[in-house]
Amino acid sequence: MGSKNKLKRFRENETFYNVIQPDRATLNDQKFSLKGKWNTHFFKNNNPIVLELGCGKGEYSVHLATQHPDKNYIGIDIKGARFWRGAKTALENELTNVAFLRAQIELITSCFSQNEVDEIWITFPDPQIKYKRTKHRLTRPEMLSDYKKVMKPEGVLHLKTDSEFLFGYTLGTVSQLGEILYAHHDIYNNSDAPKEATAVQTFYEKQFLAESKAITYIQFRL
């Protein structure tokens, strides 16, 4: 994507009511005004809140919001030029139950209060295979601990990935820290796969399937 196109999208994001872009200082200082108030001040309902971490283009959040109008969806990514597409589509389709938050996932506890989140989707994150990149894995113990802080006690998390490494790593980590509800190394060749795991496909997921790559899935609770 050219720099001019990125700047255009950044400017357009600033006009979208469904795009929230707090600066890092606000989050670091615990002064984000929507923390603990997403239901009352943004969505203006008491419906469950579902996060998509590393939402990319935002199509997964938009599809889920379309299928489940009784839930509120928030796609989170630091790259606003990517989720511009999802935000724009949501506005065009008059979807009021989906928003996009431009923030680093590592600051999730600065964006949400304890017991504020009902469900989390982690869709095709970078597996960060090299050891020195472990601190950037979205399913490392420290991140799982942060997710637990903002989730309701019975909240459910989902991981979809084409990475066998991340699938195995996460299985091992969650088995020590939480409860595995379902796991399979190839959900599109498994008739028992949960419908919510196969009903929507991301841009990259469609590419992986076209290349005959197996898609793994874990559903778990912390």
Query: How far is Cα 151 from Cα 222, in angstroms, rounded to an integer?
Result: 9
Catalytic-role residue among 29, 126, 162, 186: 126
What pairs with residue 52 in β-bridges? 75, 121
- In 3-state terms, what secondary structure has residue 146? helix
Query: How far is Cα 194 from Cα 3, in angstroms, rounded to an integer?
Result: 40
Query: How far is Cα 149 from Cα 162, in angstroms, rounded to an integer?
Result: 27
On the CB side of 144, how many CA atoms lie within 13 Å of its CA? Answer: 22
- 126 labelled catalytic: yes
Q: How many CB atoms lie within 10 A of CB 208?
A: 16
Helix (H) or strand (E) holding 108: helix 108-111
Query: How far is Cα 173 from Cα 18, in angstroms, rounded to an integer?
Result: 34
Rounded (10°) CA dihedral 143, 146, 151, 157: 0
Residue 173, Cα to own-chain centre: how many angstroms?
19
List residues with catalytic annotation: 126
